[in-house]
Structure 1
């Protein structure tokens, strides 16, 4: 009897991670490779903006020439110059650092909070699940942008870290619900029961068998959330509630260029194009990941 149980348990545990390999699906899709390459290039630009800003002109976004205020694209200034005579290309390159940092940092914090709260609620259920679910409902009840406006207006320092913390505080609720639902669907699986029968610790069961089989939906939502956060940061900065000068971000460039579109359209077009391409790439990548991880949508 014991030998039979051990064989069944081992078979269940060995079979737990055996899913269709998403990589086999992703590597055949241009909708994965194109946005992945675009985002990889943008990530390198954000990590080392100085290497790219100097490709044209002096590469310093804070070296300005008031005599060339609003100048159109020219040799040495492929994106033109802004109202202060600063190089728009250098500003767009350096702006990627702040915008992408906020998107990634906000999502990372929200994911960590969601995993902890969602796993505890989904795994144990009962009173703990009820309390954590009500706490999640409270945060989900705050309108995202309105809550961000109220909190950021109450904070004197609006840096990348503080903005990321505020946006993560308001954005983890939906992810926590997704994790809770996934954990609840996995906790009763045969391979989890087999792990309990074999006497494995709760920590090992959760980290080795529950989470690896429950977090796929979270990764998809988190990917898309990066793009949504970048848009939110740009919107808040455009409204004068996000980052402030001398910080450099796409939102600040859009805010300063909004009233000059007729006279100097390049001030708005180039940062808006980078923002649009970034968000579109992130959303496309997220949708492709969702298709690859969902057997019902695989071809």
Structure 2
């Protein structure tokens, strides 16, 4: 006869109950498989997509260019030499020189800073304002929701480009300080003021779909306060659509800043940005097409990188698209 006490010392692998339609899974003793959440499943899906890694690599490149431009070029992006006016690209100047004899490669590198900083700060401001108002409107409901929704409708009725022109021409006139950060602050303000209603609608819809979930009702029944319910339960489960839209919006705002600068109502010299470079090159496209090509190529690549990243993240977070 076998000794029961000895048999109990023999470790055998524990067999978990199989999932529906699946086979049993052997799990080592003392270890349990932790279930993955939404973000864990999304990351597992993103790692398999080449488009995610390509867009992320370009974004890291542009962010590094904006943060540390001196690592990419030692040229002067502001001062030029008229003796080098419209000199074509060569080994000494990869992108050539503009009409004022300034290094186009250095200006393209330094131009990333203004464009990306304006886009990122505008998106952060838009997410904070729109997200907060959407959270309040969706959670409180009633007259609070009605008032905030009507305010958002008013801003929805303002044409984006026209509203930006009115704001920037009003506050960025000839009598305004021409300081670099002052000009950038005005552009950021105009983009934020005109863009927050979209985020407000997204957050409001997410909150309305989540606030009646069982775990929210249970937390409220256990005496959890409003602050704990919002920050502990609602906010983490409503962030996914906001973050996806914010990623796409960074690329959109880079293009919007370039458009406003091209029209002469956005960033202005001495600020260096891709939009300003394109505006300065429009009259020289036949004589020196490279002045338009290089900043436009960097601008398009940056916009597409953020848009593609947002699309891949959206597909990873949406189970229906996997």
TM over 0.5: yes
- Does the 8 A contact of 1:17 with 1:213 survive in 2? no
Aligned partner of 2:196 among 148, 154, 172: 172
Deviations 1:36-91 (A, max 9, x none): 0110111011011122122xxxx111231211211111122101111101000000
Equivalent residue, structure 2, for 1:139: 155
Q: Unaligned 5+ residue runs, structure 1?
A: 1-14
Q: Is residue 2:78 matched to residue 1:62?
A: yes
Cα deviation, residue 154, structure 1: 0.2
Cα deviation, residue 202, structure 1: 1.1
Distance of 1:196 and 1:290 partners within structure 2: 31
- Does the 8 A contact of 1:106 with 1:167 survive in 2? yes
Aligned partner of 1:230 among 247, 251, 254: 254
After TM superposition, list the pairs within 5 Å mapping 1:164-203 onto structure 2: 164-203=188-227
Equivalent residue, structure 2, for 1:89: 105
Q: Secondary structure at the match of 2:171?
A: coil
- Does the 8 A contact of 1:122 with 1:129 survive in 2? yes
After TM superposition, list the pairs within 5 Å mapping 1:115-154 onto structure 2: 115-154=131-170
Distance of 1:278 and 1:124 partners within structure 2: 39
- Does the 8 A contact of 2:55 with 2:305 survive in 1? yes
Equivalent residue, structure 2, for 1:3: none
Aligned partner of 2:266 among 239, 242, 253: 242
Deviations 1:160-192 (A, max 9, x none): 111101110001111100000000000001111
Taking structure 2 as the reference length, the TM-score comes to 0.85
Distance of 1:161 and 1:124 partners within structure 2: 32
Cα deviation, residue 198, structure 1: 1.5
Equivalent residue, structure 2, for 1:208: 232
- Does the 8 A contact of 1:139 with 1:173 survive in 2? yes
Distance of 1:62 and 1:285 partners within structure 2: 32
Equivalent residue, structure 1, for 2:89: 73
Equivalent residue, structure 1, for 2:41: 21
After TM superposition, list the pairs within 5 Å mapping 1:1-16 onto structure 2: none
Q: Is residue 2:306 matched to residue 1:290?
A: no
Aligned partner of 2:124 among 78, 85, 108: 108
Distance of 1:250 and 1:97 partners within structure 2: 10
Distance of 2:222 and 2:61 partners within structure 1: 47
Q: Secondary structure at the match of 1:214?
A: helix
After TM superposition, list the pairs within 5 Å mapping 1:262-281 onto structure 2: 262-281=286-305
Q: Comparing both structures, which one devotes a greater share of its residues to helix?
A: 1
Distance of 1:127 and 1:17 partners within structure 2: 39
Corresponding pairs, count: 280
In terms of mean alpha carbon deviation, does 265-274 or 21-30 score higher? 21-30
The RMSD of aligned alpha carbons is 1.5
Distance of 1:211 and 1:239 partners within structure 2: 39
Distance of 2:235 and 2:274 partners within structure 1: 36
Deviations 1:104-124 (A, max 9, x none): 000000000011100000011
- Does the 8 A contact of 2:73 with 2:109 survive in 1? yes
Distance of 1:200 and 1:21 partners within structure 2: 29
Q: Unaligned 5+ residue runs, structure 2?
A: 1-33, 177-181
